[in-house]
């Protein structure tokens, strides 16, 4: 049998064949569900690595996931980021149980929105007011609209390598054929009018001061500059200087600056990257961790900008809403999570940085000493294993031809009972105690050895 590694089909090695057999033999219930789903699901959202079939989860607890066949795995999916406290943390479980007794969807709000908004406001000086929606994508959509309404300008600028969700103004990426320092934008996937990328969006180079010049050049049309303070495509923390420079240029050009903290909020620090870098944006979006594991999006920011949601002080008003926005169950779970994170932040955040750094440095040391061209990038508890030995300045430097090798890696890792999701972004949580991290490091090392034995790296 053949396996695709890099750009080439290679003869499948012994270790690769063995892990496939092992995984198939022990996941027969998962296989049954996979074939059931195939006939009714147009797209099964949220994937793990591709076996001949995916695996399906029965339950989750702390740092572990258990699949339908009863196999237990160390979980590095982190629920795609929200689970800063791990799976099913007690404070959130209790908050949810208490709310479920009282009902979970009224249409008319309970007292939860005000309390969760207070917690978010107290976490960051940039936040005067908050508006809730159901996902990070909704949050960025509303934020772009708010910025356009408040400024009366049309163009929103994004950075090469960023991700801001699934709406038409977010699915814009840099054309890889364009110049690195002056990237042009194209739409991602079919169905999005090219006029959006051509006329309404500006692509900026990440961690490159030419971005400042482009902002100066287009300032008269620019409503908003949006940045992930840490990009999940290349997680790192050495962005302080670039972000502060960006803040200065946006102020100078009278262009609003938004930090998209959907992943980083309440994960990098309790006050997100705003606290880590000591930076004050005009707008912030949150999601993921703020909902304690239930769907949420949050638009937050200065009163001047947030006035657009109410039309206060003669600000042009935008339309916003949503059947489930601010629903009591999500509010309860978010309050449960944030209150716990806040009360224990002196312990939680140093721990996440310490263990994330330890994991990255031990894996990097192993790869270096074994001459393997692989590197683990991390921003505290969020990490991405990059195949290729080049220095990574931005996602442009990531060697995309290695994707098949990455998939092979994660398949073997699954065989060693550690799950990283299909997007290849890994998270640890406060529930991942040092002995669990030791096991993860060990599984990574064994996986590298498997690939080497089969001659792939
Ligand atoms: C920075 C950022 N913004 C927005 C989103 C979209 O959030 P959601 O998946 O909740 O729609 C994501 C999702 O990963 C994200 O990482």
Statement to judge: residues 131 and 16 lie in one domain: no
For residue 80, is pLDDT > 70? Answer: yes
Whole-model pTM? Answer: 0.96
**How much is the pLDDT for 390?**
84
Report the alpha-carbon distance of residue 76 to residue 72 in Å, rounded. 13
For residue 5, is pLDDT > 80? Answer: no
Helix (H) or strand (E) holding 281: none
Statement to judge: residues 228 and 285 lie in one domain: yes
Query: Is 229 part of a structural domain of the chain?
Result: yes
Q: Tokens standing for 420?
A: 């990283």
Residue 439's CB is within 10 A of a number of other CB atoms, namely 16
Q: In angstroms, what is the span from residue 252 Cα to ligand 1's centroid?
A: 29
**How much is the pLDDT for 47?**
65
Mean pLDDT across 373-387: 96
Query: Is 19 part of a structural domain of the chain?
Result: yes
Closest CA to ligand 1's atom 13: 165
**How much is the pLDDT for 1?**
66
- Candidate of 82, 136, 159 to mutate for ligand 1, largest count of ligand atoms within 8 Å of Cβ: 136
Mean pLDDT across 49-63: 89
For residue 45, is pLDDT > 80? Answer: no
Burial status of residue 111 (CB atoms within 10 A of its CB: 0-12, 13-18, 19 or more): exposed
Pairing of strands 201-204, 155-159: parallel
* Mean pLDDT, all residues of the chain: 95
User: Range of 24's domain?
Assistant: 1-58
**How much is the pLDDT for 129?**
98
* Nearest atom within ligand 1 for CA of residue 80: 14
* Cβ atoms 126, 274 nearer than 8 A: yes
For residue 11, name the pLDDT band (cuts at 50, 70, 90). confident
Contacts of 362 (CB under 8 A, 6+ apart): 441
The pLDDT > 70 percentage for the chain reads 97
Count up the domains in the chain and report the number. 2
Contacts of 278 (CB under 8 A, 6+ apart): none
Statement to judge: residues 184 and 282 lie in one domain: yes
Helix (H) or strand (E) holding 48: none
Q: Tokens standing for 323?
A: 């059947």
Tell me 83's DSSP state: -
Statement to judge: residues 28 and 157 lie in one domain: no
Q: In angstroms, what is the span from residue 289 Cα to ligand 1's centroid?
A: 11
**How much is the pLDDT for 403?**
84
Q: Tokens standing for 231?
A: 């990009």
Query: Is 259 part of a structural domain of the chain?
Result: yes
**How much is the pLDDT for 6?**
61
Angle, vertex CA 232, rays to CA 129 and CA 84, nearest 5: 65
> Which of 326, 343, 360 is a domain's end point?
343
For residue 34, is pLDDT > 70? Answer: yes
Q: In angstroms, what is the span from residue 204 Cα to ligand 1's centroid?
A: 19
For residue 51, is pLDDT > 80? Answer: no
Q: Tokens standing for 25?
A: 């033999």
DSSP states along 106-157: -SS--SHHHHHHHHHHHH-TT-SEEEEESSHHHHHHHHHHHHHHHH---EEE
Which residue, 383, 353, 351, 385, is CA-closest to 366? 385
- Candidate of 82, 162, 263, 379 to mutate for ligand 1, largest count of ligand atoms within 8 Å of Cβ: 263
In our burial notation (b when 16+ CB lie closer than 10 A, e otherwise), range 37-47 reads eeeeeeeeeee
For residue 368, is pLDDT > 80? Answer: yes
For residue 383, is pLDDT > 90? Answer: yes
Q: What is the pLDDT of residues 195-251, one digit of tens each?
A: 999 999 999 999 999 999 999 999 999 999 999 999 999 999 999 999 999 999 999
Report the alpha-carbon distance of residue 273 to residue 111 in Å, rounded. 28
For residue 7, is pLDDT > 80? Answer: no
Angle, vertex CA 82, rays to CA 124 and CA 226, nearest 5: 50
* Cβ atoms 225, 157 nearer than 8 A: yes
For residue 287, is pLDDT > 70? Answer: yes
Report the alpha-carbon distance of residue 425 to residue 232 in Å, rounded. 7
* Cβ atoms 204, 225 nearer than 8 A: yes
Ligand 1 within 6 A of 165 CB? Answer: yes
Query: Is 66 part of a structural domain of the chain?
Result: no
Report the alpha-carbon distance of residue 406 to residue 400 in Å, rounded. 10
Statement to judge: residues 2 and 135 lie in one domain: no
Report the CATH number that the domain containing residue 193 is assigned in CATH: 3.40.640.10
* Nearest atom within ligand 1 for CA of residue 263: 16
Tell me 197's DSSP state: I
Q: What is the pLDDT of residues 96-135, one digit of tens each?
A: 999 999 999 999 999 999 999 999 999 999 999 999 999 9
For residue 284, name the pLDDT band (cuts at 50, 70, 90). very high
For residue 46, is pLDDT > 70? Answer: no
**How much is the pLDDT for 36?**
87
> Which of 313, 343, 373 is a domain's end point?
343
**How much is the pLDDT for 48?**
67
Q: In angstroms, what is the span from residue 263 Cα to ligand 1's centroid?
A: 7
Statement to judge: residues 45 and 121 lie in one domain: no
Tell me 183's DSSP state: -
Residues forming beta bridges with residue 57, ordered by sequence position: 67
Ligand 1 within 6 A of 63 CB? Answer: no
Contacts of 18 (CB under 8 A, 6+ apart): none
Q: What is the pLDDT of residues 317-344, one digit of tens each?
A: 999 999 999 999 999 999 999 999 999 9
Torsion 400-402-404-409 (CA) sign: negative
Query: Is 453 part of a structural domain of the chain?
Result: no
Query: Is 436 part of a structural domain of the chain?
Result: no
Radius of gyration of the chain (CA): 22
Query: Is 78 part of a structural domain of the chain?
Result: no
Statement to judge: residues 14 and 149 lie in one domain: no
- The CA–CA distances, whole Å, from 266 to 348, 430, 439 equal 11, 12, 26
């Amino acid at each position: 049998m053949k396996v695709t590694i890099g750009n080439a089909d290679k003869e499948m090695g012994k270790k690769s064949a063995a892990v496939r057999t092992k995984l198939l033999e022990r996941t027969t219930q998962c296989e049954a569900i996979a074939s059931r789903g195939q006939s009714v699901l147009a797209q099964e959202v949220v994937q793990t690595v591709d076996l001949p079939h995916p695996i399906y989860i029965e339950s989750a607890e702390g740092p572990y996931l258990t699949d339908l066949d009863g196999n237990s795995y160390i979980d590095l999916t982190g629920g795609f980021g929200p689970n800063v406290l791990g799976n099913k943390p007690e404070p959130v479980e209790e908050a949810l149980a208490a709310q479920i007794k009282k009902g979970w969807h009224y249409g008319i709000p309970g007292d939860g929105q005000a309390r969760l908004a207070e917690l978010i406001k107290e976490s960051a000086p940039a936040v005067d007011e908050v508006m809730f929606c159901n996902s990070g994508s909704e949050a960025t959509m509303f934020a772009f609209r708010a910025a356009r309404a408040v400024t009366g300008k049309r163009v929103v600028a994004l950075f090469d390598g960023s991700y801001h969700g699934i709406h038409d103004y977010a699915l814009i990426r840099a054309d890889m054929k364009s110049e690195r320092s002056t990237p042009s934008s194209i739409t991602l996937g079919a169905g999005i009018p090219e006029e959006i990328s051509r006329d309404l969006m500006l692509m900026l180079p990440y961690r490159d001061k030419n971005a400042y010049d482009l902002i100066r050049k287009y300032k008269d049309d620019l409503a908003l500059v949006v940045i992930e303070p840490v990009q999940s495509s290349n997680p790192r923390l050495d962005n302080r200087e670039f972000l502060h420079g960006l803040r200065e240029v946006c102020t100078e050009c009278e262009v609003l600056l938004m930090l998209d903290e959907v992943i980083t909020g309440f994960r990098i620090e309790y006050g997100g990257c705003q606290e880590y870098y000591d930076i004050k944006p005009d707008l912030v979006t949150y999601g993921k961790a703020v909902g304690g594991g239930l769907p949420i999006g949050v638009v937050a920011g200065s009163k001047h900008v947030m006035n657009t949601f109410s039309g206060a002080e003669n600000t042009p008003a935008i339309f916003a809403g949503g059947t489930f926005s601010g629903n009591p169950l999500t509010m309860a779970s978010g309050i449960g999570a944030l209150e716990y994170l806040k009360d224990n932040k002196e312990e939680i955040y140093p721990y996440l940085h310490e263990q994330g750094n330890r994991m990255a440095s031990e894996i990097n040391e192993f790869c270096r000493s074994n001459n393997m061209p692989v590197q683990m990038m991390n921003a505290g508890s969020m990490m991405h294993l990059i195949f290729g030995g080049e220095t990574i300045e931005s996602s442009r430097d990531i060697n995309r031809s290695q994707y098949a090798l990455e998939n092979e890696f994660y398949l073997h890792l699954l065989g060693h009972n550690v799950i990283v999701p299909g997007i290849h972004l890994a998270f640890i949580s406060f529930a991942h105690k040092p002995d669990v991290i030791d096991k993860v490091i060990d599984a990574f090392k064994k996986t590298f050895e498997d690939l080497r034995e089969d001659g792939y790296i």
